[in-house]
Structure 1
Amino acid sequence: MIIVPEKACPELMTLDAAVEAVEAVFGAMARGDAYNFPVVREAIGHADALYGFKGGFDRAGLTLGVKAGGYWPHNLERYEGLGNHQSTVFLFDPDTGRPVAVVGGNYLTAARTAAASAVSIRHLARKDSKVLGMVGAGHQSAFQMRAAVQQRDFERVVGWNFHPEMLSRLADTAAELGLPFQAVELDQLGAESDVIITITSSSSPILKREHVRPGTHVACMGTDTKGKQEVEAELLGAAEVFTDEVAQSVSIGEAQHAVASGLIAEGDIAQIGAVVNGTHAGRSSAEAITLFDGTGVGLQDLAVAASVVRLAQAAGKAIEVEF
């Protein structure tokens, strides 16, 4: 069995590799070659923690496994250097059921989340997109920006956050990427942005329909639980909506509110994998608003974990143990 420890993942797993892995598994999902297992998520009654499992099987890539982990809200305050989000990916041989690998999942979770929005930008954003709008400035926002700028020739970044003092993360990341950054209000962000990424933990809509101009691509990446909401339901009603997994989108994703309000139906939502495969045309026109509801599925975690195992083996950095 191979072990890839958490500390090895950032140097092995580039965002480019994550995008390629996630794009491939989205395509497999849309073809029916890969499927996710039901998600388990529970409050464990200790340390205020939420713990759960996301798993699945990719028949095309012969990847079987599960990500186990969750959210321990007091880690940062109690343990130096230990993040609140903790996860580990376990991979198994689909032919025998034997364990194949154990992989640190914290960095990979951030990478695969950024990769999902990047795939949506690659396939849905207008080719002439020049301005990237960022709503949210938490830890994940830097990953999102780095992955996004690899998909289009952005000339600048504008950003907004509930807590303006956190916008330095966006400014620093933009500077690292050689792009100018400006902190703006939401109406200006919507008026200027060709692509908007929302990455918050909001439970009430931040981005409104009136903020978003025709031709914009919006990647909603923060809503992954019942009750969360980053954008106004009316925005989905006005957009061409895509997602990673439709069933999850309407139950715990951004689409849950638009469907409940009758603004869209489940059948109005397309899988991004169908666009990847060429069985869906994607954006219908330069004036259309496209929206990707990235809910986060277990197959994304398995895809990047399998990729980092291969990279570790190729680099001679895989730790092999008898099991």
Structure 2
Amino acid sequence: MSEGLLIVGEEVCAQVVNSKDAFDAVEAVFGAMARGDAYNFPVIREAIGYADALYGFKSGFDKAGKTLGVKSGGYWPGNMAKGLTNHQSTIFLFDPDTGMLQALVGGNYLTAVRTAASSSVSIAHLARKDAKVLGMVGAGHQSTFQLRAAAEQRDFEKVVAWNPHPEMLPKLGAVAKELGLDFEAVTQEELGAQADVIITITSAFEPLMMKDWIKPGTHIACMGTDTKGKQEVDPAILASARVFADEIAQSITIGEAQHAIAAGQIAEADITPIGAVINGDHAGRSSADEITLFDGTGVGLQDLAVASVAAHQAEKQGKATRVAL
């Protein structure tokens, strides 16, 4: 990149990074992590005692992609009432050769698109090829991104959805219709009975899906649990499934696996990094009846990977602002 600081705003990010760009960037960085070419630094995440907000930092270095940086931000639950997105973040990219700040990139759109890319990567590598029904647990801001990205990976015919606030479901239904998919609002139990692939994308602190509701051969992508105490599914599901994660260290401490680990239902050794499947070092799904589960905790390297794409694309297309710092 040229001299000066590149600034890439939210609107520009949405213009220059699509779901395919995000998928490729996230898949590559998961592969790099599994090879030991990229690693995440310890996450800092704190309840600040104000506005019920969670605030923190995710950082890392991808030696293969030459990407170094930090994502700063968090979750402000009262934002929706103010017409703002609950998740707020900004990504800082540094030159790994000099340590100089290279780019300042809006992180809200990219957080949604990289989270969707993460579950999408898991569907591509772990879901049955003949999956026809997609189950969506959650209908918040990120759910529409999840639905669009998932629809690119399998020939789904129908979407079944449940949300604790049912009045939010029509927005998801509109996206399904736009994609040419049938849509049905269902109970959690009915969702489990119908879905071949389930994406959970909530901020729940209790299991929303129970083991007895999940049919053989289902792939589950748990995308909402990213903090100690959060939980979206019955730990017994993990005990009966083949479990994969974006990063094992986060999975067992702040991810969905934290509860099954704490209860002794699974061990750390039972979890496989999704990058091992991407790199061809692990077969992934072993049978049509096997339940597979992806614990997508969200790692800093995902953010840095998509932000790097945004910065390069915005500069290439003349859509970024450059300032002297």
State the match for 2:215 in structure 1.
213
Preserved contact between residue 217 and residue 289 of structure 2 (Cα < 8 Å): yes
State the match for 2:41 in structure 1.
37
* Distance (whole Å) between structure 1 residues aligned to residue 214 and residue 48 of structure 2: 40
State the match for 1:64 in structure 2.
68
> Helix, strand or coil for the counterpart of 2:199?
strand
State the match for 1:26 in structure 2.
30
> Helix, strand or coil for the counterpart of 2:89?
strand
Q: Report the count of equivalent residues.
A: 321
After superposition, residues 41-120 of structure 1 pair within 5 angstroms as 41-77=45-81, 79=82, 81-120=83-122
1:76 shift after superposition: 3.7
State yes or no: 1:12 paired with 2:16: yes
* Distance (whole Å) between structure 1 residues aligned to residue 25 and residue 220 of structure 2: 22
State the match for 2:224 in structure 1.
222
1:132 shift after superposition: 0.5
> Helix, strand or coil for the counterpart of 1:225?
coil
Cα gap change, 1:131/1:74 in structure 2, threshold over 3 Å: closer, same or farther? closer
* Distance (whole Å) between structure 2 residues aligned to residue 20 and residue 87 of structure 1: 22
Structure 1 residue runs of 5 or longer lacking an equivalent are none
Instruction: Give the partner amino acid of 2:64.
Output: A
Q: Cα deviation per residue 1:7-34 (whole Å; 9 max; x = unaligned)?
A: 2111111011111110000000000000
* Distance (whole Å) between structure 1 residues aligned to residue 200 and residue 152 of structure 2: 18
After superposition, residues 234-253 of structure 1 pair within 5 angstroms as 234-253=236-255
Cα gap change, 1:43/1:190 in structure 2, threshold over 3 Å: closer, same or farther? closer
Q: CA RMSD in A?
A: 1.1
1:177 shift after superposition: 0.8
State yes or no: 1:189 paired with 2:196: no
1:191 shift after superposition: 1.5
1:47 shift after superposition: 3.6
Preserved contact between residue 12 and residue 320 of structure 2 (Cα < 8 Å): no
> Helix, strand or coil for the counterpart of 2:142?
helix
Q: Cα deviation per residue 1:65-118 (whole Å; 9 max; x = unaligned)?
A: 0001112333343x4x43232110000010110111000001100011101000
Structure 2 residue runs of 5 or longer lacking an equivalent are none
* Distance (whole Å) between structure 1 residues aligned to residue 294 and residue 76 of structure 2: 28
* Distance (whole Å) between structure 1 residues aligned to residue 205 and residue 38 of structure 2: 31
State yes or no: 1:2 paired with 2:6: yes
State the match for 2:150 in structure 1.
148
Q: Cα deviation per residue 1:191-218 (whole Å; 9 max; x = unaligned)?
A: 2111011111111101011111111100
